[in-house]
Every structure is written in structure tokens, then in C-alpha cells.
Amino acid sequence: MKITNIGLELYSVREDLAEDLYGTLEKVKKIGYTGVEFFGEFKYSAQEVADALEKTGLVCCGWHTPWHYVQDDKLEATIAYNKTIGNKYIIVPGLPQELTKTKEGWLSVAKKFNELAKTLKSHGMITGYHNHHTEFIPFPDGTLPYYLLFDNTDQDVVVQLDNGNALKGDGKIYDIPVRYPGRMTTVHLKPYSFTNGYDTMIGEDDIDLNRFVSLCQQHSNTDWFIVEYESKKLYAPMAGVELCYKQMVKLGLI
């Protein structure tokens, strides 16, 4: 089944974005992407972002939101900002190191995500977590932080699996969609090679992308597939994300 909604994580073209919000979004739209996921601090005003999205016809398919932005003292402002730009996916892309050193720390994070999911639901919004490779490094007893987090969070907490990051950590990227049905509402597609790391390209790496996408669609009816391209060695950022898109067309995914 072809991908309906294909987004781009704007971290892939962060230098372009820092210089020119509208121009960058215009280029992304021209490539063929239908949505964009923002990241980090709110550099531009919410109205500036909303206007740029409206002019280009792109949808905001998420914001990689810093952990401190979803704490009680900032949450109200975070909700208001995302309402203005029309974004419902408040995805946390990483955690303070002190919370990830112990199993107790991860369980406290799970509790916070459950509370956050309930709060955001009343605003028509959704939260979730985006992994790196370190969540697949086991504790001494063999427990994986990734499973500890998502096994202890509610169904409403999105499992935003980044397949490339997970593969770097030897994560079981074809098992996770089966383990967490209905929760992979948005996912990241990031090319990764066991030989060359992130210096590779979709269709040339070690991920069977058709298989992965099919599993996500089958078990979660995934809303957004979001490309994130990290290599600068092979291509300039905008050229890299354009080639990612073309490779997905070649694979029959879009």
C-alpha cells in the first residue's frame, strides 16, 4: 500500500530553515512532501509558522518538542503555540541524561508521558517519544529502556520509532510495529547502513523499507511517515532529502 502522508523532519535541512523559513518550506513542498515536522525551540513566532504553512500548503505533522517545554511551567504556552500552527503531535525527541541512567528514571518518564497524554487529549493533541540508538542499550539485567518506556505507557502515547536510529542500536525494527499495535501513528524513516552508518540513502541501506512501511500500516494505520536524513557527507541537505523522496517513488511507496 502506498504512503498517503509523507513528511519531512526539518532537522534534515536545519541550516536552510534557520536562514529562510518560507523559502525552505517552499522547496520542501516542491520536492513532493506534504507535511513537515519542526524541532527544538520556538525560533519563529507561531503566526509566522502558521502563515508559511498556509502559503506553501504544507501540513505541520509534528514538532520535536524539548522535554522542558512539556513541563507544567511551559505546557500552556506549548499548547497555545501548536494550536496556532495547527499541529497536534507533540513528540519528545530526547530526555535529560539524569532520567535515563536508571530503570526508575525511565519509569518516572513513563508516568509523566501518561499524564501528559491525558492533558493533551483534552486539547485534541497527542504526545509521544522519538528514539535514538541508546534506548536499545540494555541495563545489566537485560532490560531495554525502549521497551521499559513503552510497556509502561498508555495506548495514547505515540511510539514514534526512528528506524535508522533503532537499527544502529540493533533494535528489532520489524518486531516493534507488531509489539505496539495502534501506537505508531507517526514514524521516522531514516536510512542506515551497518557499513556506512547514516552515510547512505533510502533504497541503498540495510532497511527493507517496503516491509517496514507495510508492518506500520498493517498494525497501526500510520498517519505520517516522516523522512529524516542525517548525512552531509554524500549530499547537501536539500539534495539529500530530494533524493530520499525520489528513492521512495522508485520503491513504489509514494
Report the domain count for the chain: 1
Q: Is residue 1 part of a domain?
A: no
pTM of the model: 0.97
Q: Is residue 235 part of a domain?
A: yes
Q: Which residues make Cβ contacts (< 8 Å) with residue 212, sequence separation at least 6? A: 163, 173, 174, 177, 189
Alpha helix (H) ranges present in the chain? 14-19, 21-31, 46-56, 72-85, 103-121, 145-151, 163-168, 176-179, 209-220, 237-250
Q: Is residue 120 part of a domain?
A: yes
Note the pLDDT of residue 242.
Answer: 99
CATH number of the domain within which 92 lies = 3.20.20.150
Note the pLDDT of residue 189.
Answer: 99
Note the pLDDT of residue 1.
Answer: 82
Q: Is residue 125 part of a domain?
A: yes
Q: Is residue 48 part of a domain?
A: yes
Rounded mean pLDDT for each run of 10 residues along the chain, 254 residues in total:
96 97 99 99 96 99 99 98 99 98 98 99 98 98 99 99 99 99 99 98 98 98 98 95 99 98
Q: Is residue 54 part of a domain?
A: yes
**Domain encompassing residue 171:** 6-250
Largest distance between two CA atoms of the chain: 52
Residue of 134, 49, 40 lying closest to 85 (CA atoms)? 49
Give the number of other CB atoms < 10 A from CB of residue 129: 22
Q: Is residue 132 part of a domain?
A: yes
108-148, pLDDT tens digit by residue?
999 999 999 999 999 999 999 999 999 999 999 999 999 99
Q: Is residue 53 part of a domain?
A: yes
